[in-house]
Amino acid sequence: MARAAGTALALSVALALVACGGSAGPGPTTPADRVRAAADAYLGALSARDWSRACRSMTPQARRDLADAAGTSCARALASGATSADELQSARRAVPGAVVRVRGSAASLGPFGASQQALRLRRVGGRWLVAS
């Protein structure tokens, strides 16, 4: 049961971005741009199946939550819930056009798709990281 919850969490983070379209622009200059860049980096790591890099793109708490829910390491949890390359590429195309809300050290990107849930990020040590 915990493994299924971990897989569902990993999939929801990746699939939350699938519904919108857009194109990449210049380097991040505004807080919203930096949030989008962090989400794109996370999705890029998932697309490349670089589970360790994807985990490093997550907050420590999100990594712990995913690992605890799956009963394994963050990287193994992401690998076991791997999303298709097509879905991840679609999600990456959605990032540039997504609505971004920044409130201090918290941000949200989206909502997206049928779930209508936003991707949540936190600024940790000057970096935006995926929180849920």
pLDDT (tens digit, 9 = 90+) per residue, 32-51? 999 999 999 998 999 999 99
pTM: 0.75
Write down the H helix ranges in the chain: 2-15, 31-47, 51-56, 60-70, 74-80, 85-94
- Three-class secondary structure assignment of 62-80: HHHHHHHHHCCCHHHHHHH
Provide block-wise average pLDDT over 10 residues at a time, the chain (132 residues): 42 39 54 95 93 97 95 94 78 87 95 70 96 92
